[in-house]
Every structure is written in structure tokens, then in C-alpha cells.
Amino acid sequence: MPLIHYLTTADAIADAATHFATLPRIGIDLEFDDMRHRYGRHLALIQVFDGKEVHLIDPLPLPNMAAGLEPLFVVLRDPAVAKVFHSCKSDILLLDELFGVNCRNIVDTSVQFTLLAAEDNNISLGRLIQAELGFEVDKGEQKSNWLKRPLTEAQKEYAANDVLYLFELTDRLSARLAELGRSDWAAQENLALESVRYGRDDPRPWSRNAAKYKISPQEMPIFRELYMLRDAVARQLDRPPYHVLSNDKLAELTRQPIENVNQLRTANGLHPELKRSPYAEQLLAIGTTDLAPEAPLPPEQRKFPFRRRLNGPLASRAEARETLLNTLKAHLAADHGPTMANMVLSNRLIADIIELGANAALRPWQQQLLRDAAEKHDENYELIAEPFA
């Protein structure tokens, strides 16, 4: 294990950032709490590897977190310094959500591995280290409370391991991609990560849980109001929503609402705050009031596929595009294997291409593979190249 620097002051972070700015690349990872121990998403630690030493940057002691981390954020925005991550989307979304920081010059080892088409799903860092470097790293601290201080030595070692091997991994994967002629593919995918932004306007945050528990349209108004009440209590208590009311209990109360004080008093699985004013009255009102049904979403916010919003001749044309895309996917699977076929034409991408066209929905490398497959198998790529009209 190399030397680990544990940085807790703005001055120390600024000095480290000055050093990072002189380097061609840094390895980086974030530890954060996402509704596990507190309400919301909270940055807990930033790990940086400079090629020789590991720097653990602790933001929690900073009087002003954003200001104290700004020298590091300058480096993250600097395209002259490559940032080597593994599976970085959660990290860069957090930086955008909390600080408005958009990383430039990203190299993601998960992206590199995926483009080798050895496996269909993103590989964990631990599995990648084992596969490429031949040894295991301890992942026992993965779910520990990263907001609790002081950090243990085991947590510090775990955090260091998350960045310590990134340079060796990316160099190995880069060489293998070059041998396959796929270096430009990785460059395109990594460049696209610079545009990833946090979505701040989910019109129906309860919808995913509702789908999981098969909440019917008739039950949805109660589920929606319970979900929003749970969120309000969790926010006030600074606790994860499941500490207030589990998802299972949320679904149960939707189907068997609390309708009187006696039921509320004897109900199990509720945080005590739900049995106190004003939340007790709100909970009773949900179970005894005629609630407004779900209003239809505008077309641009609907998540179901574009083709399902059509009818008549337009629906038939969209279906023909889908049939052609599935045919091309079968050809890609036969020529390049099912993993590569799914990378070019996943179900989500097929839905996007039906509406937007392949030229808009796909990266250039995906477009080229699709064009080649169409040409080889006497299919007409131009039928799915442009937006649906």
C-alpha cells in the first residue's frame, strides 16, 4: 500500500489540487451516502491517486464544502488532466447535483471493459481487478457508513484501493481495445460522459415504486400521497424514507388505508413521527378523503416507447422500423455475438431509433456497425437512419 494522505482542510486540499493540475491524469472515486443513513445524497469522501500516492479528501470538516473543494473542482473541469474513474456515472451525477461541477476528459474503465464485449453488464471494480490483475481486494467496507467519523483504517484502505489500480487497469484495457481497433469507440463513449447531467425534474418520483408493487390506477392517488408524506417526514428528520415507512408498508397502507385514530394508534411499522401532529392528521386524511386521480403526463414526459403513442398507419410504420431493427440485431448477434448486438441495439436504443433515427440516437461507432450489418445482409439502413416522420 502506498503512502495515503488524509486531507481535512481547505489549505491542504488547495495544495493537493495545485499538484494534480500539473499531472497528465489522476485516478478518482467518490464515496457518498445515497438515502442510506441520511435524507438525500451527501458527499462523504473523494479519493485521488496521482500515480504514486493516494489522497483521501475528507469534505466533512470543511466549514464551506463547496468553497473548500473548489480548487479540486477546477482540476475536474480542466480538459488537460484526464480523470480515470471506474463506473463513473453516479459520481459525476453527484458532482453535478450538489456542486454544479461537470468533469472533462473522463476515462472510465467500466466503459473500456464493456467495449471489449466480453460480458454484457458493467463489471464491478473488484471483479475487474481480479480478472485483469489476478488478485482480490477487500470490499467489506462497501456499505459502511461513510458519513461517520472518524473513518476506520479499514475504510481508508478500502477507499484507497478504489483508485490505486485504475492506471494499471486503464492501460491494460486501452491496449486490448487498440488491438481490436476500438480505441475510437472508447473515446466516443468517454466524451459522451461529459454531457451527463443530473435530472432535477422527475414529475412522478413515486412511479418506480408503484410499478414494483403493481399499484393500480385506482390505488395510485393514495400511494402518491403516502409517498409524498413519507418524503416530507424523512426530510424533516434527516433520515432515509425507509426509516419512516418501508416500501412494503407503503404498499400495504395503500391497499388498507388507516381511517381512524384507533387504527393509527395500533399500526405497526410507522415511525413515531407519523403518529404525531401534523402528520397524523395528514395520514388519516389520505385514508378518508377522495383524492385527485393522476393527471396525464404531457407526451414529452411519458416514459413508455414512442411507438405506443401512435395508432393507425403511423403505428404500422413505427412497427416496421422496429421489425427491421430486430432483424439487424439478430444479424449483429450472429456476426459479432449477442453482447455486441445489445450494445448497438439494446431495447432502449431500439425505442430511441424508432423515434429519433439511428443517426441521432447512436454514436458514430454504433452507426458504422449497423450500416455494415445492413449492407452485408441486404437490408436498407436508410429506412431507420432519420427521425420518424
- CA-CA distances (angstroms) from residue 63 to 10, 49, 66, 68, 258? 9, 25, 9, 8, 44
- DSSP letter at 272 equals G
Give me the mean pLDDT over the 191-208 stretch.
89
- The pLDDT tens digits for 30-66 are 999 999 999 999 999 999 999 999 999 999 999 999 9
Sign of dihedral through CA atoms 182, 184, 185, 190? Answer: positive
Portion of the chain with pLDDT greater than 70, in percent:
98
Residue 261 CA to residue 280 CA, distance in Å, equals 9
If we measure between CA atoms, which residue out of 328, 331, 330 comes closest to residue 383? 328
Name residue 4's amino acid.
Answer: I
Portion of the chain with pLDDT greater than 90, in percent:
87
Determine the pLDDT at residue 299.
66
Residue 310 backbone phi and psi in degrees, to 5: -115, 165
Sign of dihedral through CA atoms 216, 222, 228, 233? Answer: negative
Q: Is 86 helix (H, G, I), strand (E, B) or coil?
A: coil
> pLDDT band at residue 76, thresholds of 50, 70 and 90?
very high
- The pLDDT tens digits for 210-268 are 999 999 999 999 999 999 999 999 999 999 999 999 999 999 999 999 999 999 999 99
Cβ–Cβ < 8 Å for 254, 219: yes
Q: Over 80: is that where the pLDDT of 120 sits?
A: no
- DSSP letter at 15 equals H
Q: Over 80: is that where the pLDDT of 84 sits?
A: yes
In sequence order, the 6+-apart residues with CB closer than 8 A to the CB of 383 are 320, 321, 324
Q: Higher pLDDT residue, 200 or 268?
A: 268
Give me the mean pLDDT over the 340-353 stretch.
95
Q: Over 80: is that where the pLDDT of 139 sits?
A: no
Helix residue ranges, H only, the chain: 10-20, 65-77, 89-99, 109-115, 125-133, 153-164, 166-179, 183-193, 207-212, 220-237, 241-244, 247-255, 261-266, 279-288, 312-336, 338-344, 347-356, 358-361, 364-376
- The pLDDT tens digits for 292-338 are 988 877 766 666 777 777 888 999 999 999 999 999 999 999 999 99
Determine the pLDDT at residue 41.
95
Determine the pLDDT at residue 1.
72
If we measure between CA atoms, which residue out of 104, 132, 111 comes closest to residue 186? 111
Q: Higher pLDDT residue, 296 or 170?
A: 170
User: Own/partner pairs for 266-272, CB < 8 Å, 24+ apart?
Assistant: 269/245, 270/244, 270/245, 271/233, 271/237, 271/239, 271/243, 271/244, 271/245
Q: Over 90: is that where the pLDDT of 6 sits?
A: yes
What does pLDDT average to over the chain? 94
Cβ–Cβ < 8 Å for 109, 170: yes
Determine the pLDDT at residue 161.
96
Determine the pLDDT at residue 177.
97
Residue 268 CA to residue 249 CA, distance in Å, equals 9
Cβ–Cβ < 8 Å for 6, 58: yes
Determine the pLDDT at residue 302.
67
Residue 1 CA to residue 54 CA, distance in Å, equals 9
